[in-house]
Copies of this chain bind each other. A is one copy, B any other.
Amino acid sequence: MKMDDIARLAGVSKASVSRVLNNKPNISDALRKKVEAVLKTYDYQPNLMAQALNTNQTKLIGVLLPAIGLDIFSDIVHGISDILREQGYELILADSKGDIEQARKYLEIFRSKQVDGIIYFPTLLSPDHIDYINQIKIPTIILGQCHNGLKKSSVAFSDIEASKEIVNYFHSLGCEKIIHIAMPKNHAIGELREHGYREAMKDLKLDPRVIYVSDLSYDSGYAICQKIIEADAIFVAMDRLAIGALRYLIENNRKDILIAGIDNMEVSSMISPSLTSIDFDYYQGGQSSGQMVLELIRGHDVVSKQLSYQLIERESTRRQHV
């Protein structure tokens, strides 16, 4: 059932049908009624490919994340998806696995698929990569961080502030030897969180000590703890690693060491001891970026947004945790 057919059945031209479908003003009520009736009867659905060819809009948004499996990213995807679908857009999802080459490959695929917009959560932002991003022609939102050199709209979380809060929290609990387990050095978010840690330690006039994991697996969090000789508390750059670290502490009877993460994974409240963490509103972040990419497509200006956070206190920061 195409527009031609509808037009014939309604006894009008397909131009008029098009006008009705797109709510154009220049059409009489009489014709409108007639066409609408036929439209209803035959349950007409416009052919999106033809529409796309003509309007040069696919109504597709490319979403590139570093790891769709982590629960924070699934929250983000829900946020994005809920907003976009409301407005008739669909999303094409890709996973860069934290690798820049992969990321470029997917951005390239997005381009070739002619998506109308892109939401990109990068990991490392090298000067090189920033140049690459800036030169993208398609409306693009950078999610997860904002960077001076970046000429794109962005939605960031308060990684630095949140990290500071954790250090200060440990200090308020009487800790002095506060160690930071950081992400590998090529992770932008890891750098932000490490930065927050160092700043807070400096403000408190405490000696920072940072150790880096090799990757973001639970195992890495576990393994890295072998390097820790002495500590009052450990601030781990993400819950996932923290859960691994916690396991090590338990196995080695270091229940005197306090520990906290960031991300507030769903499982963090369920493990024993439950994990103190920072909660970011990732769903909200997804919604914001979805909204912003649509505004960008509609010609609005580049803007930046930063989201808030909340400290969730649990058992892992109590003395002698279970």
Contacts and interface: CB of A to CB of B under 8 A. Distances in A.
A109 interface: yes
A243 B218 contact: no
Contact of A271 (B77, B113, B243, B269): B243
A290 to B, nearest CB: 14
Interface residues of A, number: 46
Interface in A60-103: 68-69, 71, 74-75, 77-78, 81, 85, 90-95
A172 interface: no
Given A48-B113, A77-B68, A218 B92 contact: no
A212 interface: no
Contacts of A58: 49
Contacts of A269: 218
A91 B90 contact: no
Nearest to A58: B49
A72 to B, nearest CB: 9
Given A247-B270, A269-B218, A114 B48 contact: yes
Interface string A208-240: 000000000111001000000000000000000
A53 B58 CA distance: 12
Nearest to A105: B85
A266 B18 CA distance: 52
A94 B251 CA distance: 40
A250 B93 CA distance: 39
Given A69-B71, A92-B92, 12 more contacts: A49-B53, A50-B53, A68-B68, A68-B78, A69-B78, A77-B93, A218-B270, A222-B270, A243-B267, A244-B270, A247-B272, A271-B272
24 contacts: A45-B111, A47-B114, A49-B53, A49-B56, A49-B114, A50-B53, A52-B52, A68-B78, A69-B78, A74-B74, A77-B95, A90-B92, A90-B109, A90-B113, A92-B92, A218-B270, A219-B270, A243-B271, A247-B270, A250-B272, A250-B322, A251-B272, A271-B271, A271-B272
